[in-house]
A and B are shown apart, each in its own frame.
Chain A
């Protein structure tokens, strides 16, 4: 077959030229090899790729064994070709052309390189990718991602959904505030402002001022609660735990800062602390005075009492049973375990010191207290006997003894009765007031001193808050014996023949009283005027200053004994004045503790004093 082959070649100028050649072959071989009729460059082309063959006037293409050709875009092994059909081999495109019969050719082909092989270098560059950053793994998108995550998770989300605010909290709140931890606005009421004092006072409304309301100190009055009470520092952090350094900022030289103060300077319990100031009763009818602790102070309480007689010897109680008294028999701590409850005649004395006046009267018929009241009780007792017809007294007028119960008294009987009742009352009173060892055992008597002209008992004032400027907990000191701090109160007297060899005390409760046997040099207390409260030296046997290190003593910050907030000074918010504060909290002491600090007034005296009846005992409430 005769074939016209036209190569379309691209000149470097960009022009295309056609170069024709003719071949006369049986079959036309196409491939990379130079021995082909149509040799095409390109390593992707086989040495022999395909063959064109004419059979019965028709043109066929056949791919060499193991190879393929692309005819009109379709991959095939062999195909019949006609004018206009296109072949694709490697980077080359072949087209079958129309042949004019007069030209004498059987077949006409044209071919050109359509995928011009670009330079090796630019091809290599296409397969080369340097630089770590690609797509989202690049600095810019990663930065946006980081910023977005932080802003969305920790700013936007918490702003629109408050439970997501927990990462805003700088730490756990203290134990007492745990129940409001998830409700930020409970304390942080305003945005872009610190926690306000009002936020704290909305719950802690009765928290007391530090200084008296009359003593306005800007640095205290204007201070924020949060200055001292730092929250969000963990469950176990004590919000009230301040070191002594904080107190001594002012109290080291308080008189210079606040000339009006009556407080003395103090900066450290161990090294710089004034003597304990006792509230000492020197006249039971007057208010106690404040004195420095000193040995040999004498209290005048209006009561005669002998510790040695009670603790140091066996006593005979009701039923003539010999018994041994312990400290705890009379001195019982209050419910909070802080102070000792006041001594109460009915509870602590009456078992032994009975107020009997008539064998026929019920036991404990006469109350311990106001003689005027006692007289009324006695009159009532004997008048009732007359009315009930129960007078058995041999010395009574016969008409009274023979009266029928319930019958009306005649005027004459009434007069007889009145006289007899007064005789009996006078006899009973003689028994109380004139028989030694009854009322006068402890009290001074004032004949005619009562408001009804009868016998009165001199004023009594028993101190039960000896050091009102501080708080003391007997409970915290329970492991120690009473005599370690109050030695003179716990002396017993072996000479008295009481054989006090660990009697029942230690079995009855666990408190070891640790009584001390009296020897020649042992100080003991026989007089009620003895002040058995220890001084600061006794405290310092165990307690050192807050910053004490290396010693075996208890480091003791100011707050161990002196609370900062004193309710008696009025509330922090200043809503009430000092006077109002005093009247709203009448029974609280200067430290704001509600305690039984009652003063016994002159019992039965005609002096105008307010009395309240508490537990059957007449007491006058201390009024300043």
Chain B
């Protein structure tokens, strides 16, 4: 009983970092945004609000510093020896402060946007933030489906089972005519797991060797004696089990892909954003 209730209270998934220390960094983000908004509203510079007013410069500096700090998570998460704040604290701050940037940067720019490198930096940053939000959403949704699909079996165990089935198929097909042997070879040699970007994310392989082998066995018109018939039934049963297992594995691969996919957008765009921010700062001070 105690362990059950303990498990219920223990945070799982994204809640571990979203609710970190009672939403500490959500409060920090909202507080910071509030202060920025007050500064933005209070200052009425000559010539109107803009990125080059004192508030504009201050908010821009804060935003740029935040971006560089957010980038530092990539370093921090690899340093396992760190004695500073726990990684989930970092992630919590990363998520909330990063999201706050979507609102902070327009205040810095006084809502002036255009077709230029400055707005490009903001747009790239928005892609980073939105992909990050998508990532958090993936972490919240996908693992549940993933666990359900795995049904207490690890991917490793599933692959091991496939290998066992392959070996059993080889034995079962040994005494059967060439037609069956060929099907088994097809099932073994032409069954691929994972592979291309698309096939991993689709979770399907329309050209799966096992599916084709099973189909050909079911369509077989070869005359068999009673002994061989028994072998054939065993073979079909083995391949059918393999096919089910493959579907399960491919779903698992697909879920894993979904969890990793956002990072493929998040990280390159984060670097592009950093480059654009540096160009933005350079240009603004080169021609200011």
| Residue positions of A touching B, CB distance < 8 A | 32-34, 41, 43-47, 119-121, 123-125, 127-134, 137-139, 142-147, 149-151, 154-155, 166-172, 184, 188, 191-195, 227-230, 233, 242, 245-246
Contacts and interface: CB of A to CB of B under 8 A. Distances in A.
30 contacts: A43-B181, A46-B181, A47-B181, A120-B167, A120-B170, A124-B162, A124-B193, A128-B159, A132-B260, A132-B264, A134-B197, A142-B264, A142-B268, A146-B272, A147-B271, A150-B272, A150-B276, A151-B275, A151-B279, A155-B279, A167-B116, A167-B120, A168-B116, A168-B283, A168-B287, A170-B51, A170-B284, A171-B112, A229-B47, A246-B46
Contacts of B124: 146, 150
A119 B274 CA distance: 48
Contact of A233 (B48, B117, B173): B48
B86 interface: no
A43 B174 contact: yes
Given A128-B193, A134-B197, A139 B275 contact: no
A47 B178 contact: yes
B114 interface: yes
Interface in B158-182: 159-160, 162-164, 166-167, 170, 173-175, 177-178, 181-182
Contacts of B166: 120, 123-124
Given A32-B181, A46-B178, A233 B50 contact: yes
A184 B264 contact: no
B269 A130 contact: no
Interface in B101-150: 112, 114-118, 120, 124
B47 A227 contact: yes
Contact of B201 (A34, A45, A132, A227): A132
Contact of A150 (B170, B178, B182, B279): B279
A120 B164 contact: yes
B263 A130 contact: no
A105 B201 CA distance: 62
Interface of B: 44, 46-48, 50-52, 112, 114-118, 120, 124, 159-160, 162-164, 166-167, 170, 173-175, 177-178, 181-182, 184-185, 188-189, 191-195, 197, 200-201, 253, 256-257, 260-261, 263-264, 267-272, 274-276, 279, 282-288
Given A146-B272, A233-B112, A139 B267 contact: yes
Contact of B48 (A32, A130, A195, A230): A230
A39 to B, nearest CB: 10
Given A139-B263, A150-B272, A170-B118, 4 more contacts: A128-B192, A133-B264, A143-B271, A230-B47
Contact of B117 (A130, A154, A193): A154
A232 to B, nearest CB: 9
Given A34-B175, A227-B47, A127 B272 contact: no
A132 B255 CA distance: 11
A184 B287 CA distance: 8
A137 B257 CA distance: 13
A143 B159 contact: no
B268 A145 contact: yes
Contacts of B167: 120
Closest 9 pairs between A and B when the two form their complex, measured CB to CB = A146-B272, A142-B268, A230-B47, A121-B163, A143-B271, A120-B163, A128-B193, A43-B181, A150-B275
Contacts of B195: 129
A149 B272 contact: yes
Nearest to A127: B192
A128 B162 CA distance: 12
A145 B265 CA distance: 12
